[in-house]
Amino acid sequence: EVQLVESGGGLVQAGGSLRLSCTASGFTFSNYAMSWVRQAPGKGLEWVSGISGSGGSTYNTDSLKGRFTISRDNSRNTLHLQMNSLRVEDTAVYFCAKQDSTVTTWFDYWGQGTLVTVSS
């Protein structure tokens, strides 16, 4: 059974940093691209970043302007999102999602999410 468990969320002041993690199990982690998708309170879903199975290719939404960095440790079946220069508008639940194969394929499994709250 595929399981994705996020951690690392919490309350941080604007301008601060957080590192999110997602621990995966139930599948061969290195064979699949992974992404982070966020959802601000009462809003829709927003794709944040994606990474290939090998970790050699990364994709980011332009609006983040390089503040967030996605990475993965295939030896530990873990996905990370390093978030710097956090803004109030980054407040959201952050989901990690497994993709069917590459970053351009769909999200077939999702974690339960971790809440990031950025205060002013």
Partner 1 sequence: QSVLTQPPSASGTPGQRVTMSCSGSSPNIGSNYVYWYQQLPGMAPKLLIYRTNQRPSGVPDRFSGSKSGTSASLAISGLRSEDDTDYHCAAWDDSLSGWVFGGGTKLTVL
- E-only strand ranges, 1-120: 3-7, 10-13, 18-25, 34-39, 45-51, 58-60, 68-73, 78-83, 92-99, 107-110, 114-119
Residue 44 in contact with partner 1, rule: CB under 8 A: yes
Q: Given candidates 1, 43, 56, 120, which one binds partner 1 under the rule CB under 8 A?
A: 43
Residue 27 in contact with partner 1, rule: CB under 8 A: no
CA distance linking residue 89 with residue 116, whole number of Å = 10
Helix (H, G, I), strand (E, B) or coil at 119: strand
Q: Give 60 or 78: the residue with its C-beta nearer to partner 1.
A: 60
C-alpha 59: how far from chain center: 12
Q: Give 3 or 13: the residue with its C-beta nearer to partner 1.
A: 3
Residue 35 in contact with partner 1, rule: CB under 8 A: yes
Write down the least CB distance from residue 110 to partner 1, Å.
Answer: 4
- Structure tokens belonging to residue 60: 């980011």
Q: Given candidates 107, 114, 116, 118, which one binds partner 1 under the rule CB under 8 A?
A: 107
Query: Which residues lie near partner 1 (CB under 8 A)?
Result: 35, 37, 43-47, 50, 59-62, 95, 100, 104, 106-108, 110-113
